[in-house]
Amino acid sequence: MIYLDNAATSLPKAPGVADAVRNCLENLGANPGRGSYQAALASAEMVEDCREKMADLIGVANPLNLIFTHNATESLNLAIKGFLKPGDHVIISALEHNAVWRPLKKLEQQGVSLTVAPADEWGRIELANLSGCITPQTRLLVATHASNVTGVLNPVQALGQWTKDQGIRFLVDASQTAGCYPLNVARINADMVAFSGHKGLLGPAGVGVLYLNKDIRLETLLEGGTGSQSELPYMPEEPPGRYESGTLNTPGIAGLRAALTYLAAEGVENIHRHINTLSLQLRHGLRKISGARLMPLPRNASEGGVVSFVIPGLDCQAAAHVLDTEHGIACRAGLHCAPLAHQALGTLDTGTIRFSVGAFNTVADVEAALVAVKNLL
């Protein structure tokens, strides 16, 4: 199999991840933060070391501002539902995933108002026209860092500065960039950043992360045991425990910790360069195939590993099926859980075929994919 669905999840995982998960299950798997026997403390220290490594990777000064969840969707739900109240107004980009869109549509039914920001031809927020969206009730801007449909990047650094100037908060969905694009939370002026551990971070599924600026207090999404301050009838105030009710996914965190060790040694910049080279090769090759129509990207853009295209007259799901069964190419087709983006790109009715390259793809993988696409025509 040639795996080109890294935007859904990375495959393979980083070296050491599977061993770390197995070691946790077999040797280390006591519940962290509950008991005080040696094995429980060792498990707890592993979890906190993972938090430290994550903070180092994304430029967070205090790891206590990183919350472990079970996936990016939970992180986004926590940020959105924990922050917004009835009467509030929120602005989002036209590239948002359903993990942002659906929680907000639910909140809309409860009195939160929502504006989709004006988009340029690539779906990015048009900063020049953003001021027209703001109202006295606006409290939050939500923007994906990179689209999971086309890979195009929102200008998060400029957007972060804009939110500061406006006195509102900024939530970034970094699900497509964390681990495979140099990301520094402080540099982009983000108040909250949500992402998963199993995509660019190369860890196992089942761990998500939310960075939370220290001066933001969210309402909790879940209430329950935290292993601390058990005498209190309400959730403790201090992050991260306030937002981490119930047993953490310790084996998943052990795997993520191993992945972070790998990423620190390899360098995210180097991985990004590799992914960018392969995506450019894919785009260049697809452009030369008459009959394939690439989703547009800005000129000279250095984007993520996502390359989306359509073949007019050929159903994208049927094409993906043939790519899989006849050529061994694993890719995704359809709307990619991002109907807003397809609306902006004009592909809501057709969907797209999406190749997404990752840290372990090769030039040969890309060449094989291009040959397979040619054979579809």
Partner 1 sequence: MAKHVEKGPGREAALLLLPALAQAARLKHLLANCGIEAELLRPPQCLGPHGCSFSLRLNSSQLQQALRVAKAGEVQVDALFQETAPGQYHPIDGVNGGGV
Told to check if 38 binds partner 1 by CB under 8 A, we report yes
Residue 264 vs 348, nearer CB to partner 1: 264
Q: How far apart are CA 12 and CA 26, in angstroms?
A: 22
Q: How far is the CB of 247 from partner 1 (least distance, A)?
A: 13
User: Binders of partner 1 among 57-86, rule CB under 8 A?
Assistant: 62-64
Q: How far is the CB of 170 from partner 1 (least distance, A)?
A: 21
Of 71, 143, 130, 200, residue with least CA distance to 340: 143
User: Binders of partner 1 among 203-242, rule CB under 8 A?
Assistant: 214, 226-231, 236, 238, 240-241
Told to check if 42 binds partner 1 by CB under 8 A, we report yes
The residues, ordered by sequence, that sit 6+ positions from 335 with a Cβ below 8 Å of its Cβ are 342, 348, 351
Q: How far is the CB of 33 from partner 1 (least distance, A)?
A: 4
Query: Residue 229: left if φ>0, alpha if ψ -120 to 50, beta else—which one?
Result: left
Q: How far is the CB of 28 from partner 1 (least distance, A)?
A: 12
Told to check if 51 binds partner 1 by CB under 8 A, we report yes
Amino acid identity of 255?
A: G
- Tokens at 245, concatenated: 């009710």
Told to check if 44 binds partner 1 by CB under 8 A, we report yes
Residue from the set 52, 88, 126, 266 that interacts with partner 1 by CB under 8 A = 52
For partner 1 (CB under 8 A), the number of binding residues is 27
Per-residue contact string for residues 79-118; x = within reach of partner 1 by CB under 8 A:
----------------------------------------
Residue 215 vs 349, nearer CB to partner 1: 215
Residue 238 is given by DSSP the state: S
Q: Are 317 and 333 in contact (CB under 8 A)?
A: yes
Of 215, 255, 254, 220, residue with least CA distance to 235: 220
Residue 48 vs 266, nearer CB to partner 1: 48
Helices (DSSP H) in the chain: which residue ranges?
17-23, 38-58, 72-83, 98-108, 156-166, 250-266, 268-287, 316-327, 339-345, 363-376
Residues in touch with partner 1 (CB under 8 A)? 32-33, 36, 38, 41-42, 44-45, 47-49, 51-52, 62-64, 214, 226-231, 236, 238, 240-241
